[in-house]
Structure 1
Amino acid sequence: MAIVKSSIIQALFTAWKNDFQNGLTSAEPQWKEVAMYVTSTSKSNTYGWLGKFPKLREWVGERVINSIKEHGYTIVNKTYESTIGVDREDIEDDNVGIYSPIFQEMGRSVQIQPDELIYGLLSAGTSTLCYDGQNFFDTDHPVYPNADGTGTAVSVANYDDNAGSGTAWYLLDTSRAVKPLIFQERRKPTFLSMTKLDDEHVFTANEFRFGADCRRNVGFSFWQLAYASRKTLNSDNLWAAISAMREFSADGGQKLGVKPTMLVVPPSLEKLATRLLERELDSNSSNELKGRLKLVVPDYL
């Protein structure tokens, strides 16, 4: 039986912190495929620039200053935590080996949580508002004839709901600095402990506490960079989605030059999507989709 001392607790904290870090580095997150990283320095970030697509004109005379419609899309940071209690008896009885994989799994959980948030948001895009006040995936995004949001808007769809039936798949343009989704981070993950022998919780519950926390959240950027469909995933429907995205324009009529680069599907469509994008048809015909799109199959879609 070991006598519980502060030095022993500190040594355990150091070891378990290393396990936590190993868990962080062992995971391979997928959120970077579809989202851009934004550092937050306050409670929330407001993305007033969403909807702004300035274009060049020939400079004749003085500059022409175009008024752009302002959008107040705000992402509020949320705090997340995970805490594990370690019984004092486990330390006294040298039964601490069981905790090493637990803390490693905690690190992995922290590292992949952005995947859960990002792809959870993507799948909720048909019922979650974006900067223009419509659902991110919608059939009636308003696009105005003037850059300042005036005039009679035309409704543009980036969603084929197929009457609510079918498994959703997603077509994205991730080739630009701005990606379709935003991962916002206020405080990076930290690993902390409450390990003083005279701590009130140790006194009352006979338990030491170790935990991780962070502040972060996710949101949408331009709806024009994404398209969702519930139609059968086949060549014709995929080409129809590609064509629809290629026609997207900004307020003021400026073509955006959107070029879909990625197909995102749930695991249930992985086999079908792989065949669609990678298989050659036969010796007499070629697959025009082969090599055109990157396939991403998120674990948490």
Structure 2
Amino acid sequence: MLMNTVDIEEVYQDLNKTFNAALERTPTRYQDVANVLDTSSITEDQVFMPDLPNWREWRGDKYIHSLFLLSQDRYSLTCEPYEVTIGVKRRDLQADRLEIIRKKIEGLGELAAAFPDERVADAVNASFTAPCWDDRPFFDTEHPILKKNGARSTFSNMGTVALSAASQEDAIASLGAGLTALGTMKNRSGRPVKIRKIKLVVPVALEDIALVLANHRCLNDGTANPYKNRITLEIWPELTNDRAWFLFGESLGLKPFVLLQRKKPTFVKVTNPKDSYVVKKGQFLFGLEADAVAGYTLPQLAFASTGED
């Protein structure tokens, strides 16, 4: 096979089709826990209410829920560029080794699909130390809250108990305590946040315990499991803390994480046979480029335990 401009364009169209097919069939999960926002800016202030409003009796003037109560409540996210590039030797294409090359491009499609999952997982991995909009770590025992009457208070969305399915007592002290904490979250008016679609998210190391809690009729000691079918379970291999476990929910269309996308994963190429790189190296380039970051919304929408106790 000669490698002129027409030939390589036909090859690219073939590989692009392979890439898109892999991208579309690869399952993703980020959309379940993150609101996705597109942006043209490198750094952007996240504009969302620092509270989840609720109904009030309409007497006199309407109460306006401001996007930000205080100037220091502003929370900025900075997108970061990412890339992955593979080289395909011209002589391999000339030798009609296209099927092998398709497998590499198929892998790029799967990587592109997984990119948002990985960025959200980055935010989860940093969530015990990275600040959210109130300048406290997203999971913290002392999140400040300014009540409607002007009084200042705090709330916690973090525990330390290890996830356990050993007995009812252990299950209630771990998963049960987390569900209770999440279910009793209040907005600044003191009303329930009403979180729904709760997911238990764990690393691979906690998969066996989590499967019992989420799906089994009985716990490890033979007693009835009060949490069977009450939650959706997700195993995230990207999680780096083998003991920490998480509960994520949503309310009024808001999810606990935000994915800011300046550039979605894009299939790129250097395939002009006359390009200086191609002439010098004897290979074409195919790859991915993306520009994004994940961060946090309201801490009332999530609970986590370090699993240390």
User: TM-score, normalization: structure 1?
Assistant: 0.68
Q: Given that residues 87 and 208 in structure 1 are in contact (C-alpha distance below 8 angstroms), is that contact kept between their aligned partners in structure 2?
A: yes
1:85 Cα shift? 0.9
- Are 1:20 and 2:19 counterparts? yes
Q: 1:241-280 residue pairs with structure 2 within 5 A?
A: none
Query: How far off its partner does 1:162 sit?
Result: 4.4
Distance 1:135 1:24, change over 3 A: same
CA distance in 1, matches of 2:99, 2:270: 19
Give, as a single letter, the amino acid of the residue that structure 2 aligns with 1:157: S
* CA spacing shift, 1:42–1:166, aligned 2, 3 Å: closer
User: What's the counterpart of residue 69 of structure 1?
Assistant: 70
81-90 or 45-54: bigger deviation = 45-54
Q: For 2:258, what is the secondary structure of its paired residue?
A: strand
Cα distance change, pair 134–92 in 1 and its aligned pair in 2 (3 A): same
- In 2, Cα distance between equivalents of 1:209 and 1:80: 16
Please, which moves more after superposition, 204-213 or 66-75? 66-75
Q: Is the 8 A contact 1:33 1:174 kept in 2?
A: no
Identity %: 27
Q: How far off is 1:172 after superposition?
A: 2.1
Equivalent pair of 1:82/1:211 in contact (CA under 8 Å): yes
**Counterpart-to-counterpart distance in 1, 2:20 and 2:26:** 10
Give the corresponding residue for 1:285. Answer: none
Instruction: Give 1:138's match in structure 2, choosing from 124, 133, 140.
Output: 140
* Alpha carbons of structure 1 residues 155 and 166: separation in structure 2 relative to 1, 3 Å: farther
Map of 1:172 onto structure 2: 248
Q: How far apart are the structure 2 equivalents of 1:113 and 1:39? A: 15
1:188 offset after TM fit, Å?
2.6
- Which consecutive aligned stretches of 4+ in structure 1 deviate over 3 angstroms post-superposition? 52-67, 230-233
TM-score by length of 2: 0.67
Give the superposition deviation at 1:195: 1.4
Aligned to 1:91: 93
Structure 1 pair 64–17 and aligned structure 2 pair: CA distance change class (3 A) = closer
Structure 1 gap ranges (5+): 234-301
Tell which deviates more after alignment, 211-220 or 55-64.
55-64
1:214 shift after superposition = 2.1
Correspondence for 2:127: 125
* Alpha-carbon distance in 2 for matches of 1:166, 1:43: 33
Once the two structures are superposed, residues 146-204 of structure 1 have per-residue CA deviations (whole angstroms, 9 ceiling, x without a partner) of: 57xx65x32321111349x9821112222430100111222233222211121110121
Q: 1:4 maps to which residue?
A: 3
SS in 1 for 2:127: coil
Does the residue aligned with 1:11 lie in a helix, a strand or coil? helix
Mapped partners of 1:61, 1:14: distance in 2: 64
Separation of aligned partners in 2, 1:102 and 1:181: 32
Tell me by how many angstroms 1:83 deviates.
1.3
Structure 1 residue matching 2:136: 3-state secondary structure: coil
Q: Which residue of 2 aligns with 1:260?
A: none
Deviation string, structure 1 residues 35-60 (Cα, Å, up to 9, x no partner): 11112232232124341444554444
Kept after mapping to 2: 8 A contact 1:80/1:213:
yes
- 3-state DSSP of counterpart to 1:172: strand
The residue type paired with residue 188 of structure 1 is K
Select the structure with the greater relative contact order (CA < 8 A; seq sep ≥ 6): 2
Greater shift, 77-86 or 65-74, is seen at 65-74
Letter of the structure 1 residue corresponding to residue 253 of structure 2: A
- What secondary structure, in the 3-state scheme, does the structure 1 residue paired with 2:144 have? strand
Could you tell me whether the CA contact under 8 Å between 1:189 and 1:214 is conserved in 2? yes
TM superposition shift of 1:125: 0.8
User: For 2:41 and 2:142, how far apart are their aligned partners in 1?
Assistant: 33
> Equivalents in 1 of 2:21, 2:242: separation in Å?
40
| Structure 2, unaligned runs of 5 or more | 163-240
Give yes or no for contact 1:50–1:131 (8 Å, CA) kept in 2. no
